[in-house]
Amino acid sequence: MNTRIQVTVNGVQYSHMVEPRLLLVHYLRDVLRLTGTHVGCDTSSCGACTIHVNGKATKCCTMLAVQANGCQITTIEGLSHNGDLHPLQEGFKECHGLQCGFCTPGMIMTAADLLQHNPQPTENDIRHALEGNFCRCTGYHNIVKSVLYAAEKLKEHAVVH
Amino acid sequence: MSTNGLIGRAVKRVEDKRFITGHGNYTDDIILPHQTYAVFVRSQYAHAKILSVDTSAAKEMPGVIAIYTGADLANTNGVPCGWQVNFKNGDTMKEPKHPLLVADKARHVGDAIAIVIAETKEQATDAAEAVTVEMEELPCVIDAAKAVQPGAPLVHDDVPNNKSFDWTLGNPIEEVNAAMDQAAHVTTLEFVNQRLVPNAIEPRSYNSSYDPVSEKYTLYTSSQNPHLIRLLMCAFVLGIPEHKVRVISPDVGGGFGSKIFHYTEEALLTWCSKQIGRPVKWTSERTESFLLDAHGRDHVTKAEMGFDAEGKIVALRVKTYANLGAYLSTFSSCVPTYLHGTLLQGLYTTPKINVDVTAVFTNTTPVDAYRGAGRPEATYLLERLLDLAALEMKADPAELRFKNFIPPFDGVQQPGYQTQVALQYDSGNYEGVLKKGLEMLGYADVRRQQQEAANNGKLVGVGFSTYIEACGIAPSAIVGALGCRAGLFESGHVRVQPTGKVSVYTGAHSHGQGHETTFAQVVADKLGINLDDVEIVHGDSDSVAFGMGTYGSRSLAVGGSAIIKSIEKIIEKGKKIAAHKLEASADDIEFASGRFTVKGTDKSVGFGEVALTAYVPHVYPKDLEPGLDFSSFYDPANFTYPFGCHIAVVEVDKETGKVSIKRFVAVDDVGNVINPMIVEGQIHGGVVQGIGQALFEGAEYDENGQLTNASYMDYCMPRADDLPMFETASQVTPCPHNPLGVKGAGEAGTIGSAPAIVNAVIDALWSGGHQVKDIRMPLTSERVWNAMNS
Amino acid sequence: MQLAGKHVLHAAPTRVWAILMNKDTLAHIVPGVSRLEQTGDHTYKSILDIKLGPVSGSFTGNLQLDDLQEPSAFTIKTQQNSKIGNANAAIAINLTPVGDNDTEIIFDGDVKLTGMLASLGNRVMGGVSNTLAKQFFSNLEKELDKEPAP
């Protein structure tokens, strides 16, 4: 009855037998113990569970683990490289874009997807891109500033290299 | 005392690193060895007799470890209420039992009938579905004003008219009536302050275990106040020894009040962990959160404000029905009374005030403190009345306020302001925040733009709210006299390590407020050491002496003051150690910038060296104990009273009724500010929760007591694209009665913002000739459109 | 929740009545019926499989045709239980002759929902009930078409 899945999460390959009804978010949290991805609802409404599946922002509370078979997954734990924070992680800290931190991983992963295809977003672009992620603490003001900060940082980075 | 300039600086938060990298540690992240999982069987009916509960089939299901029902807990207490309010005639409030599992009847949808514990959550879910419950549905009552009518169904058979208590405060009603009769103009508003669902994004989660060898329990709980939970659970519910219970609140993903209360699941899981000898975990699903986390607000109010011919307020009369839900939650009774009635003076010199509250049980989710708790209801009432009165009397709403403000007082040179409703305000400069707000707004320009818009057939409105709140909760003697069954002090323990590094143990709890940064700023500043050399520890009853937790914007004003007391003791002792080293008298030692110096000399010794000497006391004063470690408790002398001015500019779409917020200006005076970045963040978040109430949110019950919007698909909360950037500023009027001069910033935004938005919408409609007095919150497009077109 | 509407069928009230009172045809007409078992005069045990927007479920319960006034009126009473919540309905049905050979069916009643049906399904209930009502009448029309009018 259980099915074998093979996934690459944050660059590491895993192979597990899973129940067909196991949600991807619970696979990440309970099996791989990557608990940075959070569950805030069960209706894909809050975005706290947002990760990247094959490079695209995906709410993994409504995706089955078996659907991720063969996929490349990035979670918040895999966003920084060699100890350097991703510009978004830096932006959230610099601009006070988080308070309780519960929505933050999902918020950052959604914003990272935005910056991949729209590296210089306007305030409105950012607000529109983040409308699938709830934050109950910040009022979004500083989250918008955090993403603008990261976009600016990425631009500087692009100029340097 | 010395400072190194850390106080007042926008220091980036030290706690952020773990959150932005996914290494936060929330309760649901914890899996203990031999973990088991609980799922509840809950009532689908708002009010129904339980005829039978059959668990036999479920018990045979794979992985099931135990199932308990109300019958198993017949001799266990329910969860208590922490605040006693008396009836007007002196009788004690009606306080029916809130059992851990209901055995006789369910009183709201979601009331727990059985708990199923299994090896996995999926197995527990399957088994819970196999529990058969036979119920007989009873007529139910949802609305507070209807619940007190004769013949209404009784939520508790022994509570006549569903009335928990009635209560009054202020001047005698006869005096208020007489003043009102003399008024040249009376503005009347009858309205509903709708029920809100707090919706912290982290669902409530508990994980409880029992060690039979040490006979010790450990409860991980997503709580704002772990010590309070331990006290209530041990002393009032389970009767287990407090020293054998460790309660830990690790990272908590938002609370907004809803995680203050002692919930039935906390005690029940703890009880179960001993029964089965294994750790039991439960994490609420989102719909369970909607049905079970205590809701906020839900007042039905009639309010009248009388003015003389010059526009001075002469009287205020308020009648409120407060919906308590099915049971008294931990602090539910003080919200509509001592946190609401006491704030009805507002910022104004109103000479006669009377408030009358009837608090009622209904077949709905219990209602308790939600960000602001009572104070948003009071502010909404006052500020709506003022803007409406200005429209009715063709006065300017800002001018009307200036005319009625209490004049500035600092609480030092000028005494505090004694209100008609029991409080004494600490310090205030109310006209200051409004002046600043008007400047930031460019008031004359905005009014001109409004006129132009009206000429072009557009509806633009300006709404004001000048609020005050009472926080820094609270002086124990005062709240004790008012019925609080707890003290509301705080503890602060400062442990200087031998190398001069400092560990601080606070009874406050951070769930987004940034205590690990702000408290460290205070300590590092006062001791003249690096921020990195201070570690703030909170949320664990085994390491922190005691704590009342975080709510009522109290952490810094009360918890911070306790830490200051310990720091003073450390400096005092440090002076003695330094004096001995420097061969001087302790009276001649000054402490500044991290050094102890003999006055008027260059002889000095550093803080680190003094710390080391305290733990390696080879050369040491004879009569002094070794060590540099102090614990203090601080009980505030008064509440603190932040205030501010919020101004909203909105445009209402004539065709659709949709409200767009064009500008939002907030000037808040929260006393001295330790970290302006964090304070601003608190204001933003608070403002948006107020905007949420004004425009988006509201729990909707149908006539059968079903909560019909119990999911994020149905309950509308503000999203990023609903909001503008905010224009914020601060004014500083220090609090005269605590050592840091701070007042508190957690709830201010929520308290001030909702009436500003609603007032702006009403103003917009009047500018187009629609003389609407009230639109029921939330002001959805449909409601606004209907108001324009009726 | 209020459930009300009307529909005109191309058949006389007596024929419509006969089809609605027949257990076998009734099983084809009520949407989602996977089993209908007669337990008495016009009382049935039923299993229904119904999808209501985000929630779908298998309902077990009873169905009763009551207050019979042949051929002009009756009431459908039903109590359905499922893992996702319970539904309790009483719907009055009136059959009025229109012209020589048509019938106007007017239905009006109240549906009470509990559990997830109430908390998650309510938002889509209006749409779902319209769909179910449409299915009911289109199934009824199909049954009427099967046997030509006498």
Chain B 346-385, residues with CB within 8 Å of chain A CB atoms: none
Q: Which pLDDT does position B1 carry in this prediction?
A: 44
> What is the percent of chain B with per-residue pLDDT over 70, rounded to a whole number?
100
Low-confidence ranges of chain C (pLDDT < 70): 52-55, 121-122, 147-150
Residue B373 has pLDDT above 60, yes or no: yes
Q: Which pLDDT does position B568 carry in this prediction?
A: 97
Domain with residues B16-21+489-634, CATH architecture: 2-Layer Sandwich (3.30)
Report the pLDDT averaged over residues B142-168. 97
Chain C residues with CB-CB distance to B129 below 8 A: 83
Q: What is the mean pLDDT of chain B?
A: 97
Query: Quick one: B91 exposed, middle or buried, by C-beta within 10 A (0-12, 13-18, 19+)?
Result: exposed
Q: Which pLDDT does position A83 carry in this prediction?
A: 83
Q: Which pLDDT does position A161 carry in this prediction?
A: 56
Q: Which pLDDT does position C148 carry in this prediction?
A: 61
Residue B704 has pLDDT above 60, yes or no: yes
- Indicate the domain borders of chain B: 16-21+489-634, 31-138+202-253+259-292, 296-474+638-788
| CA–CA separation, B655 and B636 (whole Å) | 53
Q: Which pLDDT does position B2 carry in this prediction?
A: 44
Q: How far apart are the first and last CA of chain A?
A: 51
Which residues of chain A are in CATH 1.10.150.120 domains? 87-160
B34 CB near a chain A CB, below 8 Å?
A: no
Q: Which pLDDT does position A160 carry in this prediction?
A: 62
Q: Which pLDDT does position B776 carry in this prediction?
A: 97
Residue owning tokens 């695209």: A56
Residue B3 has pLDDT above 90, yes or no: no
CATH class of residue range B296-474+638-788: alpha beta
Minimal CA separation from A106 to chain B, in Å: 10
Confidence of residue B783 (pLDDT cuts 50, 70, 90): very high
Minimal CA separation from A83 to chain B, in Å: 10
**Which of B13, B14, B20 should one mutate to test binding to chain A, selecting the residue with the greatest count of A CBs within 10 A?**
B20
Chain B residues with CB-CB distance to A123 below 8 A: 725
Within this chain, domains B16-21+489-634 and B31-138+202-253+259-292 share the same CATH topology: no
**CB-hemisphere CA count at 13 Å for A117?**
8
Which of B365-379, B455-469, C118-132 is the least confident region?
A: C118-132
CATH class of residue range C2-146: alpha beta
Q: Which pLDDT does position C53 carry in this prediction?
A: 60
Report the pLDDT averaged over residues B636-649. 97
Q: Which pLDDT does position C55 carry in this prediction?
A: 62
Each residue's pLDDT expressed in tens, for chain A with a length of 161 residues:
799 999 999 999 999 999 988 999 999 999 999 999 999 998 999 999 999 999 999 999 999 999 999 999 999 999 998 889 999 999 999 999 999 999 999 999 999 999 999 999 999 999 999 999 999 999 999 999 999 999 999 998 877 65
Largest CA distance in chain B: 87
Q: Minimal Cα distance from A42: which residue of B?
A: B286
pLDDT tens digits, residue range B235-283? 999 999 999 999 999 999 999 999 999 999 999 999 999 999 999 999 9
Q: Which pLDDT does position B4 carry in this prediction?
A: 78
CATH of domain A87-160: 1.10.150.120
Q: Which pLDDT does position C85 carry in this prediction?
A: 87
**Which of B19, B29, B249 should one mutate to test binding to chain A, selecting the residue with the greatest count of A CBs within 10 A?**
B19
Torsion over CA of B385, B388, B392 and B396, rounded to 10 degrees? Answer: 110
Whether residue B54 contacts residue B69, with contact meaning beta carbons closer than 8 Å, is answered with no
Chain B residues with CB-CB distance to A40 below 8 A: 201-203, 253, 286, 712
Domain B31-138+202-253+259-292 has CATH 3.90.1170.50: yes
Residue type, B204: R
Q: Which pLDDT does position B64 carry in this prediction?
A: 98
Q: How far is CA A22 from CA A18, B102, C138, in A?
A: 7, 32, 39
Report the pLDDT averaged over residues B460-467. 98
Which residues of chain A are in CATH 3.10.20.30 domains? 3-78
pLDDT tens digits, residue range B55-97? 999 999 999 999 999 999 999 999 999 999 999 999 999 999 9
Report the pLDDT averaged over residues B749-774. 97
pLDDT tens digits, residue range B524-581? 999 999 999 999 999 999 999 999 999 999 999 999 999 999 999 999 999 999 999 9
| CA–CA separation, B466 and B401 (whole Å) | 8
The neighbouring-strand residues paired with B590 are B597
Chain A to chain B Cβ contacts (< 8 Å): 179
Chain B 749-788, residues with CB within 8 Å of chain A CB atoms: 749
A3-78 adopts what CATH topology?
A: Ubiquitin-like (UB roll) (3.10.20)
Minimal CA separation from C121 to chain B, in Å: 8
Q: Which pLDDT does position B425 carry in this prediction?
A: 98
A48 CB near a chain B CB, below 8 Å?
A: yes
- Indicate the domain borders of chain C: 2-146
